[in-house]
Structure 1
Protein backbone atom coordinates (compact mmCIF):
# COMPACT_ATOMS: atom_id res chain seq x y z
CA UNK A 1 0.00 0.00 0.00
CA UNK A 2 1.42 3.40 -0.93
CA UNK A 3 1.57 6.35 1.43
CA UNK A 4 -1.13 9.01 1.05
CA UNK A 5 1.65 11.60 1.41
CA UNK A 6 3.70 13.08 -1.40
CA UNK A 7 7.49 12.73 -1.27
CA UNK A 8 7.84 16.32 0.00
CA UNK A 9 5.15 15.81 2.65
CA UNK A 10 6.93 12.65 3.84
CA UNK A 11 10.19 14.64 4.08
CA UNK A 12 8.49 17.35 6.11
CA UNK A 13 6.78 14.81 8.38
CA UNK A 14 10.16 13.18 9.03
CA UNK A 15 11.71 16.54 9.95
CA UNK A 16 8.75 17.41 12.20
CA UNK A 17 9.33 14.07 13.90
CA UNK A 18 12.95 15.02 14.50
CA UNK A 19 11.82 18.14 16.36
CA UNK A 20 12.49 20.81 13.73
CA UNK A 21 10.32 23.92 13.64
CA UNK A 22 8.68 25.15 10.43
CA UNK A 23 11.44 27.76 10.04
CA UNK A 24 14.16 25.15 10.45
CA UNK A 25 12.46 22.82 7.97
CA UNK A 26 12.13 25.66 5.46
CA UNK A 27 15.84 26.47 5.76
CA UNK A 28 16.86 22.81 5.49
CA UNK A 29 14.73 22.19 2.39
CA UNK A 30 15.36 25.64 0.90
CA UNK A 31 11.66 26.46 0.66
CA UNK A 32 9.47 29.18 2.15
CA UNK A 33 8.13 28.75 5.68
CA UNK A 34 4.64 29.35 4.29
CA UNK A 35 5.16 26.36 1.98
CA UNK A 36 6.10 24.22 4.98
CA UNK A 37 2.93 25.32 6.77
CA UNK A 38 0.81 24.46 3.73
CA UNK A 39 2.40 21.01 3.51
CA UNK A 40 1.86 20.56 7.26
CA UNK A 41 -1.85 21.36 6.84
CA UNK A 42 -2.10 18.87 3.99
CA UNK A 43 -0.34 16.19 6.06
CA UNK A 44 -2.72 16.77 8.97
CA UNK A 45 -5.75 16.52 6.68
CA UNK A 46 -4.49 13.34 4.99
CA UNK A 47 -3.63 11.66 8.30
CA UNK A 48 -6.82 12.79 10.06
CA UNK A 49 -4.97 14.82 12.70
CA UNK A 50 -6.72 17.88 14.08
CA UNK A 51 -3.93 19.64 15.97
CA UNK A 52 -0.26 20.48 15.65
CA UNK A 53 0.36 18.68 18.95
CA UNK A 54 -1.10 15.47 17.50
CA UNK A 55 0.95 15.91 14.32
CA UNK A 56 4.16 16.31 16.33
CA UNK A 57 3.32 13.32 18.54
CA UNK A 58 2.49 11.20 15.45
CA UNK A 59 5.67 12.23 13.65
CA UNK A 60 7.82 11.74 16.74
CA UNK A 61 6.43 8.26 17.34
CA UNK A 62 7.32 7.32 13.76
CA UNK A 63 10.92 8.54 13.72
CA UNK A 64 11.90 9.56 17.25
CA UNK A 65 13.32 12.96 18.13
CA UNK A 66 16.40 14.37 16.47
CA UNK A 67 19.75 14.35 18.26
CA UNK A 68 19.39 17.87 19.68
CA UNK A 69 16.10 17.08 21.37
CA UNK A 70 17.07 13.52 22.34
CA UNK A 71 20.15 14.91 24.10
CA UNK A 72 18.21 17.68 25.84
CA UNK A 73 17.41 17.43 29.50
CA UNK A 74 13.99 16.06 30.41
CA UNK A 75 11.50 18.57 31.74
CA UNK A 76 12.07 19.73 35.30
CA UNK A 77 8.53 19.26 36.57
CA UNK A 78 9.36 20.71 40.00
CA UNK A 79 9.90 24.12 38.36
CA UNK A 80 6.20 24.25 37.49
CA UNK A 81 3.18 25.02 39.60
CA UNK A 82 0.75 22.07 39.82
CA UNK A 83 -1.72 23.48 37.27
CA UNK A 84 1.07 24.35 34.82
CA UNK A 85 2.42 20.80 35.12
CA UNK A 86 -1.06 19.39 34.58
CA UNK A 87 -1.53 21.47 31.42
CA UNK A 88 1.92 20.53 30.08
CA UNK A 89 1.22 16.86 30.75
CA UNK A 90 -1.93 17.09 28.62
CA UNK A 91 -0.02 18.95 25.88
CA UNK A 92 2.56 16.15 25.88
CA UNK A 93 -0.33 13.69 25.44
CA UNK A 94 -1.34 15.59 22.27
CA UNK A 95 -4.40 17.47 23.50
CA UNK A 96 -5.28 20.88 22.10
CA UNK A 97 -5.79 23.95 24.30
CA UNK A 98 -9.56 23.69 23.81
CA UNK A 99 -9.58 20.01 24.80
CA UNK A 100 -7.46 20.73 27.88
CA UNK A 101 -9.75 23.63 28.81
CA UNK A 102 -12.83 21.39 28.62
CA UNK A 103 -11.10 18.64 30.60
CA UNK A 104 -9.92 20.98 33.37
CA UNK A 105 -13.00 23.24 33.28
CA UNK A 106 -10.98 26.39 32.58
CA UNK A 107 -10.88 28.75 29.61
CA UNK A 108 -8.63 28.10 26.58
CA UNK A 109 -6.95 31.46 27.33
CA UNK A 110 -6.02 30.20 30.80
CA UNK A 111 -4.56 27.05 29.22
CA UNK A 112 -2.47 29.19 26.85
CA UNK A 113 -1.21 31.29 29.78
CA UNK A 114 -0.19 28.15 31.69
CA UNK A 115 1.61 26.88 28.57
CA UNK A 116 3.42 30.21 28.10
CA UNK A 117 4.54 30.33 31.74
CA UNK A 118 5.71 26.72 31.60
CA UNK A 119 7.69 27.39 28.41
CA UNK A 120 9.38 30.39 30.03
CA UNK A 121 10.22 28.49 33.22
CA UNK A 122 11.56 25.48 31.30
CA UNK A 123 13.39 27.39 28.57
CA UNK A 124 11.36 25.69 25.85
CA UNK A 125 11.00 27.39 22.48
CA UNK A 126 8.73 25.10 20.45
CA UNK A 127 5.74 22.86 20.96
CA UNK A 128 7.76 19.96 19.57
CA UNK A 129 10.46 20.48 22.17
CA UNK A 130 7.84 20.48 24.94
CA UNK A 131 6.29 17.26 23.65
CA UNK A 132 9.54 15.38 23.08
CA UNK A 133 11.19 16.47 26.33
CA UNK A 134 7.99 15.85 28.25
CA UNK A 135 7.68 12.30 26.94
CA UNK A 136 11.01 11.45 28.58
CA UNK A 137 9.63 11.73 32.09
CA UNK A 138 5.95 12.68 32.17
CA UNK A 139 4.58 12.14 35.69
CA UNK A 140 1.30 10.33 36.21
CA UNK A 141 -1.46 12.37 37.77
CA UNK A 142 -3.38 10.96 40.71
CA UNK A 143 -6.53 10.95 38.54
CA UNK A 144 -4.88 8.36 36.27
CA UNK A 145 -4.13 5.91 39.08
Structure 2
Protein backbone atom coordinates (compact mmCIF):
# COMPACT_ATOMS: atom_id res chain seq x y z
CA UNK A 1 0.00 0.00 0.00
CA UNK A 2 1.35 3.42 -1.00
CA UNK A 3 1.38 6.21 1.61
CA UNK A 4 2.72 9.04 -0.53
CA UNK A 5 0.06 10.91 -2.52
CA UNK A 6 2.26 11.64 -5.52
CA UNK A 7 1.77 9.44 -8.57
CA UNK A 8 3.73 10.51 -11.63
CA UNK A 9 1.61 9.44 -14.61
CA UNK A 10 2.46 9.44 -18.27
CA UNK A 11 0.95 8.31 -21.54
CA UNK A 12 2.63 7.54 -24.82
CA UNK A 13 1.46 6.33 -28.22
CA UNK A 14 4.58 4.28 -28.94
CA UNK A 15 3.64 3.13 -32.46
CA UNK A 16 5.12 -0.35 -31.96
CA UNK A 17 6.71 -1.01 -28.60
CA UNK A 18 8.64 -4.00 -29.95
CA UNK A 19 11.20 -1.79 -31.68
CA UNK A 20 11.31 0.95 -29.03
CA UNK A 21 11.32 -0.84 -25.70
CA UNK A 22 14.71 0.43 -24.51
CA UNK A 23 13.99 4.00 -25.65
CA UNK A 24 10.68 4.04 -23.78
CA UNK A 25 12.19 2.63 -20.59
CA UNK A 26 15.06 5.16 -20.66
CA UNK A 27 12.62 8.06 -21.04
CA UNK A 28 10.40 6.83 -18.20
CA UNK A 29 13.44 6.49 -15.95
CA UNK A 30 14.79 9.92 -17.00
CA UNK A 31 11.48 11.62 -16.12
CA UNK A 32 10.90 9.51 -12.98
CA UNK A 33 7.51 8.25 -14.21
CA UNK A 34 5.75 5.81 -11.83
CA UNK A 35 3.10 4.59 -14.24
CA UNK A 36 2.80 5.10 -17.99
CA UNK A 37 -0.14 4.06 -20.14
CA UNK A 38 1.05 3.08 -23.60
CA UNK A 39 -0.96 2.61 -26.76
CA UNK A 40 -0.46 1.24 -30.26
CA UNK A 41 2.03 -1.25 -28.84
CA UNK A 42 1.44 -3.79 -31.62
CA UNK A 43 2.26 -6.52 -29.09
CA UNK A 44 0.37 -9.77 -29.58
CA UNK A 45 -1.43 -11.64 -26.84
CA UNK A 46 -1.54 -10.53 -23.24
CA UNK A 47 0.87 -10.79 -20.38
CA UNK A 48 3.67 -9.29 -18.36
CA UNK A 49 7.28 -8.44 -19.21
CA UNK A 50 10.17 -7.14 -17.10
CA UNK A 51 12.42 -4.26 -18.17
CA UNK A 52 14.94 -3.44 -15.44
CA UNK A 53 13.12 -1.51 -12.73
CA UNK A 54 9.85 -1.54 -14.70
CA UNK A 55 7.10 -4.11 -15.23
CA UNK A 56 4.91 -3.97 -18.30
CA UNK A 57 1.36 -5.34 -18.49
CA UNK A 58 0.06 -5.53 -22.04
CA UNK A 59 -3.00 -6.60 -24.00
CA UNK A 60 -2.99 -6.94 -27.79
CA UNK A 61 -4.47 -8.78 -30.73
CA UNK A 62 -4.43 -12.56 -30.74
CA UNK A 63 -1.27 -14.22 -32.04
CA UNK A 64 -3.09 -15.47 -35.16
CA UNK A 65 -3.79 -12.01 -36.62
CA UNK A 66 -1.65 -9.13 -37.88
CA UNK A 67 -0.20 -7.00 -35.08
CA UNK A 68 -2.11 -3.75 -34.65
CA UNK A 69 -3.45 -1.60 -31.81
CA UNK A 70 -2.52 -2.87 -28.34
CA UNK A 71 -2.43 -1.19 -24.94
CA UNK A 72 -0.31 -1.49 -21.85
CA UNK A 73 0.97 -0.09 -18.60
CA UNK A 74 4.59 0.24 -17.64
CA UNK A 75 4.91 0.52 -13.86
CA UNK A 76 8.02 1.26 -11.82
CA UNK A 77 8.89 -1.35 -9.23
CA UNK A 78 8.36 -0.25 -5.68
CA UNK A 79 5.36 1.31 -4.02
CA UNK A 80 2.91 1.48 -6.90
CA UNK A 81 3.67 -1.92 -8.39
CA UNK A 82 3.16 -3.38 -4.92
CA UNK A 83 -0.19 -1.56 -4.66
CA UNK A 84 -1.74 -3.36 -7.63
CA UNK A 85 -4.69 -5.48 -6.60
CA UNK A 86 -5.73 -6.62 -10.06
CA UNK A 87 -5.13 -6.42 -13.80
CA UNK A 88 -7.99 -6.95 -16.25
CA UNK A 89 -7.06 -7.59 -19.86
CA UNK A 90 -10.30 -6.28 -21.39
CA UNK A 91 -9.28 -6.16 -25.08
CA UNK A 92 -6.55 -4.99 -27.44
CA UNK A 93 -7.84 -1.44 -26.80
CA UNK A 94 -8.72 -1.49 -23.08
CA UNK A 95 -6.53 -2.56 -20.13
CA UNK A 96 -7.46 -1.92 -16.50
CA UNK A 97 -5.18 -1.86 -13.46
CA UNK A 98 -6.69 -1.65 -9.97
CA UNK A 99 -4.65 -0.37 -7.05
CA UNK A 100 -5.10 0.47 -3.40
CA UNK A 101 -3.44 3.41 -1.70
CA UNK A 102 -3.69 4.29 1.97
CA UNK A 103 -6.69 6.52 1.22
CA UNK A 104 -8.60 4.95 -1.66
CA UNK A 105 -9.04 2.30 -4.29
CA UNK A 106 -8.48 3.42 -7.84
CA UNK A 107 -8.75 1.97 -11.30
CA UNK A 108 -6.56 3.24 -14.10
CA UNK A 109 -7.69 2.36 -17.60
CA UNK A 110 -5.36 2.47 -20.60
CA UNK A 111 -7.30 3.20 -23.79
CA UNK A 112 -6.53 3.13 -27.48
CA UNK A 113 -9.64 4.66 -29.04
CA UNK A 114 -10.36 3.82 -32.70
CA UNK A 115 -9.96 6.73 -35.11
CA UNK A 116 -13.19 8.58 -35.89
CA UNK A 117 -12.90 7.42 -39.51
CA UNK A 118 -13.31 3.77 -38.54
CA UNK A 119 -16.62 2.00 -39.27
CA UNK A 120 -19.47 3.06 -37.00
CA UNK A 121 -19.94 -0.49 -35.71
CA UNK A 122 -16.30 -0.66 -34.56
CA UNK A 123 -16.65 2.65 -32.71
CA UNK A 124 -19.92 1.60 -31.08
CA UNK A 125 -18.44 -1.73 -29.97
CA UNK A 126 -15.46 0.07 -28.43
CA UNK A 127 -17.63 2.52 -26.49
CA UNK A 128 -20.00 -0.26 -25.36
CA UNK A 129 -17.00 -2.23 -24.11
CA UNK A 130 -15.63 0.84 -22.32
CA UNK A 131 -19.02 1.47 -20.70
CA UNK A 132 -19.21 -2.12 -19.43
CA UNK A 133 -15.67 -1.76 -18.05
CA UNK A 134 -16.68 1.35 -16.11
CA UNK A 135 -19.95 -0.27 -14.98
CA UNK A 136 -17.97 -3.21 -13.51
CA UNK A 137 -16.02 -0.90 -11.17
CA UNK A 138 -17.59 -0.66 -7.71
CA UNK A 139 -19.17 2.68 -6.85
CA UNK A 140 -16.93 4.90 -4.79
CA UNK A 141 -13.70 3.75 -6.41
CA UNK A 142 -11.74 6.35 -8.35
CA UNK A 143 -11.49 5.92 -12.13
CA UNK A 144 -8.69 7.43 -14.23
CA UNK A 145 -8.80 6.95 -18.00
CA UNK A 146 -5.67 7.54 -20.04
Fold equivalence (TM over 0.5) = no
Higher relative contact order (CA 8 A, sep 6+): 1
Higher helix share: 1
Q: Which one has the bigger strand percentage? A: 2
- Normalising to structure 1: TM-score of the pair? 0.30
